[in-house]
Amino acid sequence: MTRHAKKSREEKIASAAVLVVGAGGLGCAALLGLARSGIRRLTVVDPDRVDESNLHRQVLYSDTDIGMPKALAAKASLETSFPGIDVRALEARVTSGDVWDLLDEHDVAIDATDDPATKFLLNDAAVLSESTLVTASAVAWRGHLLTVKPGHGPCLRCLFEDPPTDAPGCSELGVLGPVPGVLGALEAVEAVKVVTGGGKTLVGRLLTYEGVSGTFRIVEFDARPDCAVCGDAPTIRSVVDLYAGGAG
């Protein structure tokens, strides 16, 4: 009997496919971190274009990229810096129609958007398709991060039942340039842990970062039995489009 050799950590990283939704401050840092970790198959999805006012936090772009679609600019930047990397760029937003195929084609998905509706769409689709999702947010001087692994811990709706409709975001409060870089880099770390099976992920653990005090905090939380998507009697069995924003 031939026994298949167990893949090394490096082989798992090299063969992994990672989806990154959002190519703003979070997404740029996550993509850069993934590429530097040895991930060679990436898909980046973003409907927006590079804007001069965002260059302070979107580290993959320069003045010459202003006006270009973010997804295409990110692809060009990564392929220039990392020969041999395979980046698929989708100049679009994730919808209820294509989210299933996108999740199915990748080992882990990273939510790097600043739009609550897209975050919840990704969360719900990940739970329903049993896909792993790393999600983060950054605003002003702070941010948070968690990993959703269906069957192993709670989801985003276990913390927040529905997308907030009046919570101020980057457009109202702004964001300190390095803050999404911190959270995006941590998203890349989480994704690498997921694909390698090494380390303790942030499943059931909300990591918060406060830039003013310079502190990290982890709060453990459980799945809610009454959660609408991952609870004992779920009422959400499909996903809908409630698009309201983009990627910061």
pLDDT for 246: 47
DSSP β-ladder status, 133-139 and 142-148: antiparallel
SS (H, E, C) 68-82: CEHHHHHHHHHHHHC
For residue range 146-162, list pLDDT tens digits in order: 999 999 999 999 998 88
Arithmetic mean of pLDDT, 217-238: 96
Residue among 141, 176, 155 at smallest CA distance from 221 = 155
Q: How far apart are CA 104 and CA 60, in angstroms?
A: 27
For residue range 49-71, list pLDDT tens digits in order: 999 999 999 999 999 999 999 99
Does residue 121 have a pLDDT over 90? yes
Does residue 44 have a pLDDT over 80? yes
Q: Is the pTM value of this prediction over 0.85?
A: yes
Fold category of 9-220 in CATH: Rossmann fold (3.40.50)
For residue range 175-186, list pLDDT tens digits in order: 888 999 999 999
For residue 7 the two structure tokens come to 């893949």
